[in-house]
């Protein structure tokens, strides 16, 4: 009979959120029906006279699931995961890429040389007890009258937020803000602090009416930023999505041999044979986005019938077969319905309402709804002031299981998602 386990995950080195996501993925085979809490930032707990370099805040989360393993068998697997992720034996309070502890289980209390359950430090960790309570675990919940850890920041594991970095003078919402390499790097570091999982770089605008530039000009904008990312210890760990439909730009990226996990997002929908040939021979994820025109043309939209989801499913199935014939497996593909590209405002909103139906394609879902023009149906606010509307839609999309949300304001969207998770925890 499987036992219910509660584990704590923590990280205070490098791309902390990415490390927690990696660890949770590695634990999935061992834990059935896994659920996870929000993620809270806390100050490092340090002994007296600890080196100042150890004083780095932790991200902490709790996961729960059922396992057929004994506590010691699970502990052995946990130690292997920590080792595989790069953790090595260090001083007790030293910074760690990942730290995984068994907090409690549905069996009897346990105390051995290797393991104590419930965890002996649990009474001294109110933030962990608060996260346990948020998962509504019944007798496990360690409820308190006022379990308020008051973290400086809080995050979610899922959905993953993709932070927009437009290196352009004319993007519809933030054109000209991040043209300079130094400003772009500063913005990216802030996005990581705000909870981004993927950084998306764009070298040209695709807004309605924009003038398209040559691949050489696009590369002139992208190259210095990509090189700066490689020279930044933190940013070099974060997955990068490059927004381009030029095969020559993709070839240049391939030649750079980036250390980051890489995505290529072709907003024209992977129609060019040379692009498909290049991507088939690269180790990267591929974003398949539906569009009817680039730049977006408000007069070129999907037919009124059938409903837009049916049209996207038909197109998606056909395209997955086509790119599969070119050597790009479905396992590499992330599907983007292309909100605002070839859709009337009410079609875009219909897609957002029923986004979960797109899971029929069998690919992770990626939605870029941030500050889009369809908001003008119910608001006169200019694009930079549409973050509240965007965050409200993000909560709806998260409830439908959308995997990636592409947003401008990562901090506001993360706050909305975390608040929603405490009221309606994931299952």
Closest CA to 405 of 377, 348, 376, 364: 364
Residues 332 and 377 sit within 8 Å (Cβ to Cβ): no
Report the distance separating Cα 311 and Cα 254, nearest Å.
33
- For residue 144, with 0-12 CB atoms within 10 Å meaning exposed, 13-18 middle and 19 or more buried, which class applies? exposed
Distances (CA, A) of 161 to 47, 68, 151, 402: 35, 33, 20, 11
Active site residues: 372, 406
262: its two tokens = 């890489």
Annotate 75-108 with b (16+ C-beta within 10 A) or e (fewer): bebbeebbeebebeeeeeebbbbbbbbbbbbeee
Backbone phi, psi, residue 349, to 5°: -70, -35
Closest CA to 157 of 178, 136, 139, 135: 135
Residues 336 and 367 sit within 8 Å (Cβ to Cβ): yes
Sign of CA dihedral 156, 162, 165, 170: negative
Residue whose tokens read 């205070």: 12
Question: What would the DSSP string read from start to end of 342-356?
Answer: S--HHHHHHHHHTGG
């Amino acid at each position: 009979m499987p036992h219910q386990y509660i584990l704590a995950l923590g990280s205070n080195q490098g791309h902390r959120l990415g490390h927690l996501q990696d660890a949770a993925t590695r634990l999935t085979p061992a834990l059935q029906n896994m659920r996870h809490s929000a993620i809270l930032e806390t100050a490092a707990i340090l002994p007296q006279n600890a080196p100042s370099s150890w004083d780095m805040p932790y991200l902490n989360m709790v996961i729960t699931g059922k396992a057929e393993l004994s506590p010691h068998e699970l502990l052995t697997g946990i130690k292997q995961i920590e080792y595989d992720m790069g953790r090595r034996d260090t001083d007790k309070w030293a910074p760690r890429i990942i730290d995984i502890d068994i907090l409690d289980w549905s069996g009897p209390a346990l105390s051995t040389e290797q393991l104590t359950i419930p965890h002996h430090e649990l009474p001294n960790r109110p933030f962990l007890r608060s996260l346990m309570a948020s998962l509504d675990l019944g007798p496990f919940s360690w409820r308190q009258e006022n379990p308020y850890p008051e973290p400086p920041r809080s995050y979610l594991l899922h959905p993953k937020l993709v932070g927009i970095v437009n290196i352009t003078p004319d993007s519809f919402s933030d054109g000209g803000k991040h043209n300079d390499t130094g400003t772009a790097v500063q913005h990216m570091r802030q996005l990581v602090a705000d909870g981004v999982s993927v950084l998306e770089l764009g070298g040209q605008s695709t807004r309605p009416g924009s003038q398209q530039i040559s691949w050489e000009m696009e590369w002139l904008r992208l190259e210095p930023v990509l090189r700066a990312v490689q020279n930044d210890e933190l940013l070099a760990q974060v997955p990068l999505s490059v927004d381009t439909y030029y095969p020559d730009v993709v070839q240049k990226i391939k030649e750079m041999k980036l250390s980051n996990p890489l995505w290529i997002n072709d907003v024209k929908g992977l129609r060019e044979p040379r692009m498909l040939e290049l991507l088939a021979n690269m180790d990267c994820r591929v974003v398949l986005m539906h569009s009817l025109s680039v730049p977006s043309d408000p007069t070129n939209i999907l037919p009124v019938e059938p409903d837009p989801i049916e049209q996207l499913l038909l197109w998606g199935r056909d395209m997955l077969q086509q790119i599969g014939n070119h050597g790009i497996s479905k396992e590499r593909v992330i599907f983007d319905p292309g909100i605002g590209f070839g859709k009337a405002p009410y079609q875009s909103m219909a897609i957002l309402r029923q986004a979960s139906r797109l899971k029929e394609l069998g690919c992770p879902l990626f939605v870029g709804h941030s500050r889009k023009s369809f908001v003008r149906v119910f608001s006169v606010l200019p694009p930079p002031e549409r973050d509240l509307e965007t965050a409200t839609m993000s909560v709806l999309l998260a409830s439908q299981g959308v995997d990636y949300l592409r947003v401008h304001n990562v901090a506001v969207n993360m706050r909305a998602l975390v608040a929603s998770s405490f009221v309606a925890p994931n299952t």
